[in-house]
Amino acid sequence: MDLQTGKFYWDTTLQNPPTYPPLQEDISCDVLIVGGGGSGTQCAHYLSEYGLDVVLVEKNKIGYGSTRSNTALIQYAGEKTFLQLINSFGGDYALRHFLLCKEAINEIEKISSSLEISPDFTRRDSLYYASCKEDVSKLRQEYDLLKKYNFSVEFWTEKEISKKYPFQKYAALYYINDAELNPYKFTIGLLEKSKKKGVRIFEQTEIKGKKFEKDKNIFHTDKGNVIHAKHVIMAAGYECLDFKNEKNTVMVSSYAVVTNPIKDFSSWYKRSLIWESARPYVYMRTTPDDRIIIGGLDENITSPKERDMKLTHKKNLLIKEFQKLFPNIHVHPEFYISAFYGGTHDGLPIIGKYEEFPNCYFLMGYGDNGTVYSMALAKIISQVITKGSHQDLDLYLQTRPFLNLQRNHKI
Ligand SMILES: Cc1cc2nc3c(=O)[nH]c(=O)nc-3n(C[C@H](O)[C@H](O)[C@H](O)COP(=O)(O)OP(=O)(O)OC[C@H]3O[C@@H](n4cnc5c(N)ncnc54)[C@H](O)[C@@H]3O)c2cc1C
């Protein structure tokens, strides 16, 4: 899959990243992880804690998949609101998902503080504003539900917003204690930590073919070597779909720019994350070197050529959208990307378990909070492999009730 194009930012923030050798012999292991992005690395981290013999293979360079395009707003509230998730799955289900996401953010924070390569994890609040007047009542409903379940969120009126930002919006939800990080440094830092615990890592090693025998999976690499594994985690990001089609997934094209460094952020309240109720939406955050990341304007485009042809136009539009909010901050794009971005129809990430892939787990942390979803899913999958079960596995299996099949309004 041609995942993305552009001038990338994150890898410029880490000088001389470690490199790993290609696999050049046949090997065996307890767990094979296919994919060296954020998701594969999160799995390697959990599994390394259990002392298993873990191998991670990456066809390209570590962190050069979608992880490289990740704008890394770290939030639990996603594209589908709490109310929409309740309507699709029922109250208990939606609440459990939100709590697991909150737990995953805490986990990312804890891990980040233990890494030698710091991923610049910083707690930030999020402003989610109503893009039009009609959305105000939806925000109010969402607020009431979130408050009922003790989530730290405030409802802001037009007056409160304009006191804190240089723009006017009808209303907003203000989420306390979300976060931002550097996804590339997080991936490299975490993998280095796992390497020290014995995880074997191979770059430039592509999985090309597979065969399943009784209690072993046999995977063939592009260099003709064979990997025997008791368990396999497919953490190939959106390229999981090259191995197995999954009907609940949807791919679109997304865009992002990273601006020049800015001197004065005094008009940007707490350098919060900002996004909106419109679909598709525009979102923004700042970086530790005082740049601004602006992203969004997704389109239903699945041809890489068509996606990339729109990059210049979208780059300009994103800057324009930003200037509408902050006319006093003058920016120009220094980095810019167009990328495929995957979500799911029902708004939850997926753990795929398929008959034709025995002892294999597909980690599809698809959705706007991909980093958080992958963290939660990596923990679940790792526990299923090491302990035989996890109470939340059913929540994310691809066999879950799909698209309003189950309605259970317990909230
Ligand atoms: C524009 C954009 C903005 C985003 N913004 C956010 C955000 O603000 N917050 C957030 O939480 N998430 C965001 N996401 C989502 C986030 O980027 C993804 O959830 C995350 O990067 C997925 O990581 P991954 O490891 O699953 O995939 P990847 O990073 O793509 O890693 C998968 C790896 O598998 C490798 N691979 C594939 N096939 C094979 C094979 N056959 N053999 C060996 N290796 C293979 C690939 O080379 C790749 O390196 C965004 C995504 C995009 C595109």
Cβ–ligand 1 distance for 40 under 6 Å, the answer yes
**For a substitution probing ligand 1, which of 8, 70, 126 has the most ligand atoms within 8 Å of its CB?**
70
pLDDT band at 231 (very low <50, low <70, confident <90, very high): very high
**Cβ–Cβ under 8 Å, residues 244 and 362:** yes
Query: So what's the pLDDT on residue 213?
Result: 78
Helix, coil or strand: residue 361: strand
**pLDDT tens-digit series, residues 259-311:** 999 999 999 999 999 999 999 999 999 999 999 999 999 999 999 999 999 99
Q: Is residue 407 predicted with pLDDT exceeding 70?
A: no
Q: What is the mean pLDDT of residues 23-51?
A: 97
Interior/surface letters 27-54, b for 16+ CB within 10 angstroms, e for the rest? bebbbbbbbbbbbbbbbbbbbbeeebbb
Cβ–ligand 1 distance for 90 under 6 Å, the answer no
Dihedrals phi, psi of 347, to nearest 5 degrees: 90, 0
Pairing assessment for the beta strands 122-129 and 273-276 based on DSSP bridges: parallel
Cβ–ligand 1 distance for 297 under 6 Å, the answer no
Query: So what's the pLDDT on residue 204?
Result: 98
Look at the block and give the residue holding tokens 């990339």: 308
Helix or strand run (H / E) with residue 186: helix 183-196
Burial class (CB in 10 A: 0-12, 13-18, 19+), 271: middle
347: left (phi over 0), alpha (psi -120 to 50) or beta: left
> Which atom of ligand 1 is the closest one to the Cα of 41?
25
Query: So what's the pLDDT on residue 402?
Result: 53
Supply the residue whose CA is at minimum distance from atom 25 of ligand 1.
37
Side-chain-side CA neighbours of 180 within 13 Å: the count stands at: 18
pLDDT band at 346 (very low <50, low <70, confident <90, very high): very high
**Cβ–Cβ under 8 Å, residues 161 and 169:** yes
Helix, coil or strand: residue 338: strand
Instruction: Output the CA 285–ligand 1 centroid distance in Å.
Output: 19
Helix or strand run (H / E) with residue 101: helix 91-112
Q: What is the mean pLDDT of residues 7-13?
A: 97
Q: Indicate the pTM of the whole model.
A: 0.96
Query: So what's the pLDDT on residue 215?
Result: 72
Instruction: Output the CA 371–ligand 1 centroid distance in Å.
Output: 9
**Cβ–Cβ under 8 Å, residues 153 and 221:** no
Side-chain-side CA neighbours of 144 within 13 Å: the count stands at: 8
Bridge partner list, 252? 341
Query: So what's the pLDDT on residue 259?
Result: 98
Query: So what's the pLDDT on residue 35?
Result: 98
Residues 6+ apart with CB under 8 A from 355: none
> Which atom of ligand 1 is the closest one to the Cα of 206?
42
**pLDDT tens-digit series, residues 148-163:** 999 999 999 999 999 9
Q: Among residues 75, 31, 402, 60, which one has the least CA distance to residue 236?
A: 60
**For a substitution probing ligand 1, which of 281, 371, 375 has the most ligand atoms within 8 Å of its CB?**
371
> How far apart are the C-alpha atoms of 130 and 385, rounded to whole Å?
43
Query: So what's the pLDDT on residue 214?
Result: 72
* CB atoms near residue 110 (< 10 Å): 10
Cβ–ligand 1 distance for 374 under 6 Å, the answer yes
CA torsion, ordered 302, 304, 308, 314, to nearest 10 deg: 20
Q: Among residues 232, 200, 243, which one has the least CA distance to residue 32?
A: 232
**Cβ–Cβ under 8 Å, residues 279 and 217:** no
Q: Is residue 93 predicted with pLDDT exceeding 70?
A: yes
Instruction: Output the CA 57–ligand 1 centroid distance in Å.
Output: 15
Pairing assessment for the beta strands 216-221 and 153-157 based on DSSP bridges: unpaired
**pLDDT tens-digit series, residues 358-380:** 999 999 999 999 999 999 999 99
* CB atoms near residue 334 (< 10 Å): 14
Instruction: Output the CA 3–ligand 1 centroid distance in Å.
Output: 9
Residues 6+ apart with CB under 8 A from 383: 46, 389, 390
Cβ–ligand 1 distance for 253 under 6 Å, the answer no
> Which atom of ligand 1 is the closest one to the Cα of 61?
49
Q: Is residue 405 predicted with pLDDT exceeding 50?
A: no
Assigned token pair, 319:
């800057």
For residue 280, cis peptide bond before it (omega within 30 degrees of 0): yes
> How far apart are the C-alpha atoms of 155 and 356, rounded to whole Å?
48
